[in-house]
Amino acid sequence: MRLLIDDANIEEIRRLMDLYPISGGTTNPSILAKYGDDPWTLLKKLRTLYGEERDFHVQTIAMDADGMIGEGRHIAEVLGKNTFVKIPCIPEGFKAMKTLSKEGYRITGTCIYTPLQAYLAIESGAQYVAPYVDRIDNMGYDGVEVVKIIQDIIDNNGYEAKVLAASFKNSQQVLELCAYGIDSATCVPSVIDNFTNSAAILAAVEKFRSDFEKTAGQGKTMAEL
């Protein structure tokens, strides 16, 4: 499963990319609004930070197909290689996806709460579909189960589209989908850090270090012996 960052904080993204195997990033208008810069300035900085080899998913704002199509072309043109146009999975969105996919743009169907939204996005030409795991949980349904159904739809119909699961609030949600074999998960920095944020893990590593120092001397490492 590929891991992406669902955030727009430049310092945090730089830190996470330095530490972890990060395949790209996602944004939405609410994420961009948190960080003050005008959206295009921030999006260009993020694109440079990720580098053109990583995927970058950027959302349209318009509510009508013509508006989404215009935004989609502009997003792909300005942000370049490996940019995916995120289009909400509403009826006008499917109409926009059909046109943009025929023109060769790469599309991520987003705002997915139900499996049939994903199905329609895929049939309309989306390469990725982005179900919102925790938001579905908060509606009283099972977000992980919805993603699994979407993956089954893809597998059982022989579709080439992939799942980019989003809206995670804890490691368990990510783990279940990783084990199920979905293609990608996009997470906020705190969720990614929590994959390994355990006192037991840190204590184990520190014990190894203190045992080593008993024979090698304080502050020594293997490289210094």
| Active site positions, annotated | 86
The mark string for 12-51 relative to ligand G3P (x by CB under 6 A, - otherwise) is: --------------x-x-----------------------
Residue positions counted in the chain? 225
Spatial CB neighbours of 7, under 8 Å, sequence gap ≥ 6: 13, 25, 27, 31, 188, 189
Number of chain residues interacting with ligand G3P (CB under 6 A): 9
Residues 110-149 that bind ligand G3P (CB under 6 A): 132, 134-135
Q: Which of 3, 5, 6, 174 is the binder for ligand G3P (CB under 6 A)?
A: 6
- For ligand G3P, the closer of residues 99 and 134 by Cβ is 134
Q: Is the CB of residue 117 less than 8 Å from the CB of residue 128?
A: no
Quote the tokens at residue 29: 């208008």
Q: Which of 60, 108, 124, 167 binds ligand G3P (CB under 6 A)?
A: 167
Choose between 86 and 148: whose C-beta lies nearer to ligand G3P. Answer: 86
CA 114 to the chain's CA centroid = 18
Going 35 to 38 to 43 to 45, the CA torsion angle's sign is negative
Which lies closer to ligand G3P via its Cβ, residue 26 or residue 117?
26
Are 204 and 210 in contact, with CB atoms under 8 Å apart? no
E strands, 144-183, are 162-165
User: Quick one: which of 166, 174, 191, 192 contacts ligand G3P (CB under 6 A)?
Assistant: 166
Task: Give which of 184, 179, 111, 113 is closest to 143, Cα–Cα.
Answer: 113
* Beta carbon of residue 215, minimum distance to ligand G3P (angstroms, whole number): 48
Q: How many angstroms separate the Cα of 218 from the Cα of each of 202, 209, 211, 214? A: 19, 9, 10, 7
Q: Which is nearer to ligand G3P, 94 or 132 (CB)?
A: 132
Annotate each residue in 177-206 with x if it binds ligand G3P (CB under 6 A) or - if it does not, as one string: ---------x--------------------
Residues that bind ligand G3P (CB under 6 A): 6, 26, 28, 132, 134-135, 166-167, 186
